[in-house]
Amino acid sequence: MALTDAAIRTAKPDKKTTRKFDSGGLYLEITPRGGKWWRLKYRFDGKEKRLSLGIYPEVPLAGHKDKKTGEWIDGAREKRDKARQLLANGIDPSEHRKAIKAARVERAENSFEAVAREWLTKYSPRWTSSHCQKNLRRLEYDVFPWLGGRPIAEVTAPELLTVLRRIENRGAGETAHRVRQICGQVLRYAVATGRAERDPSADLRGALAPVRATHLAAITDPMRIGELLRAIDGYQGYYVTRAALCLAPLVFVRPGELRTAEWAEINLDRAEWNIAAEKMKMRVPHLVPLSKQAVEILQGIQPLTGRGRYVFPSARSTTRPMSNNAILAALRPMGIPKDQMTGHGFRALARTVLDEVLGIRPDYIEHQLAHAVRDPLGRAYNRTSHLPERRAMMQQWADYLDKLKAGAKAVPLHRQVK
C-alpha cells in the first residue's frame, strides 16, 4: 500500500533499521536513531542497485510549491519518476548523479574566479606585494561579482565588455583598460593550461574609450627644484616624514621602496642600501649607493627609529611602514599641488636633470633607476654593474642639489655641462 504523509510523520524507529515501501521501488528507511531516508531500489544491467533520494522531511513525499519563492520543490515521488525516466533511456541514475557532481566540481574548479586566483598565486612571487594586492582588489571589486562563477571557457567578449563598461561608466577609464589587461592575462593562462580555447579579451581592442596618457607630475626645472628643496628643508611636520622627504630626491627610488626601507638593508659604514628582489618592481635586487648627504639623514633618524624594523615607520604603529600617501600629503601643505609634484616625481626629476644638465651617461641613470638595462651583448646588468661610476654620480647629484638649495645659479634644461 502506498505511503501517506501522516504515516511517515508518525512512524517510530525500531531497534533495527526498518523500511516502509511506497511504489515503483521507492521506500523510506527508518534508522534506530529516528533518521528517515528515502531510497530507490532499481535494477540496471541485471544488477540490483539503490539510490538515495534525500532525507524526510527536507524531501517530502510529494512535491509542492514553496510558499515564499513560488518555486516547485520535488518530493520523493518526483525524484523517483525522474530516475526511472533515466532508466527507460538506458542511463544508470547513480552514474548520472556522479557525472553531474563531477561536472559541478569541474565547473567550480574552472570558474573564472578559481583560474584567476590560481594565476595570481602562480605569478605573485614575481611581483611586489602592492602590485599583487592591487590586481586582486581590481578582480574582487570589478570582475568576480559578475564573472567569477562563470566557467572560464564560456566567458564571451560581450560579457567581458559589459563588466568593463560598468567600470568605464563610473569615470574610471584607465582602470577599465587595466582590468581588461588583467582579464586577458587570466584568460591566456586558462588557454595555456587547457581550461579555455581562446582569449575573448583580444576581441575588445578598441572597444573602450582611449585614455590620454598622463605622466606622474614632477618639477624638473632646476630653479624650481631649489625652491622645492628649500620647502622640504623647512617642513615642520612629523620628523620621520621630513627625513623621508629629504632622502627622496637623493636616492630617487620608487615611493614603495622608500617607505618600506628597513634598517637591515642599510649599511652606513659602506654607504649602501641593498633592496631585496621581492620589494622591487622588476624582482631583481637593487643597490643604491648613498651620498654623504644621504648617510647624514639616515644617521640623524637612526636614534629615533633604529631599534625598529623600518627606517620610516608609521606614526600610528612602529610595526608598520609609513603610508603610501605620507610623502604626497606632506607636499601639499608646502603649497606644491599634485599636478606639479608627486612622490614618484623625484625619479623623473633626477632622470631629467642628470641627463640634460649634468650630462651623465643614460645607462648609469637607467641602472640606478632600476630599469631594465642591458649590455651591448643583450645581457642584463647585475646589481653592482658600474658601481664606482654610479657612486660618483650619486655624490655629484647630491652636491648639485645642495647648490640648488643654497640658491646657486642653475643651468637651464637642454644645456649640458661640458
The answer to which of 27-36, 135-144, 369-378 has the lowest mean pLDDT is 369-378
The answer to which of 322-326, 360-364, 392-396 has the lowest mean pLDDT is 322-326
All structural domains of the chain, each given as residue ranges with its CATH number in brackets, are 5-107 (3.30.160.390), 112-204 (1.10.150.130), 222-405 (1.10.443.10)
Please report, for residues 9, 130, 141, 258, the alpha-carbon distance to residue 323 in angstroms, rounded to integers and kept in the order given: 64, 12, 22, 11
CA angle, corner 36, sides to 31 and 41, nearest 5?
Answer: 90
Name which residue leads in pLDDT, 179 or 338: 179
- pLDDT beyond 50 at 417: no
Q: Are 186 and 119 in contact (CB under 8 A)?
A: yes
- pLDDT beyond 50 at 69: yes
- pLDDT beyond 80 at 352: yes
User: Which residue from 339, 344, 364, 345 is spatially nearest to 354, judged by alpha carbons?
Assistant: 364
Can you tell me the distance from the alpha carbon of 306 to that of 298, in angstroms, rounded to the nearest whole number? Answer: 9
The answer to which of 210-214, 224-228, 326-330 has the lowest mean pLDDT is 210-214
Exposure of 322 by Cβ count < 10 A (0-12 exposed, 13-18 middle, 19+ buried)?
Answer: buried
CA angle, corner 64, sides to 61 and 68, nearest 5?
Answer: 130
What average pLDDT does this structure show over 362-379? 71
User: Is residue 165 classed as helix, strand or coil in its secondary structure?
Assistant: helix
Instruction: Read off the pLDDT of residues 126-143 as tens digits, 9 standing for 90 and up.
Output: 777 778 888 999 999 899
Instruction: Read off the pLDDT of residues 78-125 as tens digits, 9 standing for 90 and up.
Output: 999 999 999 988 888 888 888 777 666 666 578 899 999 999 999 888
What average pLDDT does this structure show over 279-305? 90
Please report, for residues 22, 264, 297, 328, 384, the alpha-carbon distance to residue 368 in angstroms, rounded to integers and kept in the order given: 82, 20, 20, 23, 10
What average pLDDT does this structure show over 361-389? 73
Q: Percent of the chain having pLDDT more than 90?
A: 39
Q: Are 370 and 282 in contact (CB under 8 A)?
A: yes
Give the pLDDT of residue 335: 61
Length of the chain: 418
CA angle, corner 87, sides to 84 and 91, nearest 5?
Answer: 135
Which cell goes with 387?
Answer: 658601481
Active site residues: 254, 281, 344, 347, 371, 381
Q: Are 184 and 202 in contact (CB under 8 A)?
A: yes
pTM: 0.52
What average pLDDT does this structure show over 306-320? 90
Can you tell me the distance from the alpha carbon of 63 to that of 77, in angstroms, rounded to the nearest whole number? Answer: 8
Give the pLDDT of residue 413: 46
User: Which residue from 67, 69, 146, 153 is spatially nearest to 109, judged by alpha carbons?
Assistant: 153
What average pLDDT does this structure show over 57-84? 88
Please report, for residues 136, 160, 173, 245, the alpha-carbon distance to residue 180 in angstroms, rounded to integers and kept in the order given: 14, 8, 11, 35
User: What type of residue sits at position 344?
Assistant: H
Name which residue leads in pLDDT, 108 or 157: 157
Taking the mean position of all CA atoms in its chain, how far away is CA 171? 21
The answer to which of 99-108, 219-228, 364-373 has the lowest mean pLDDT is 99-108
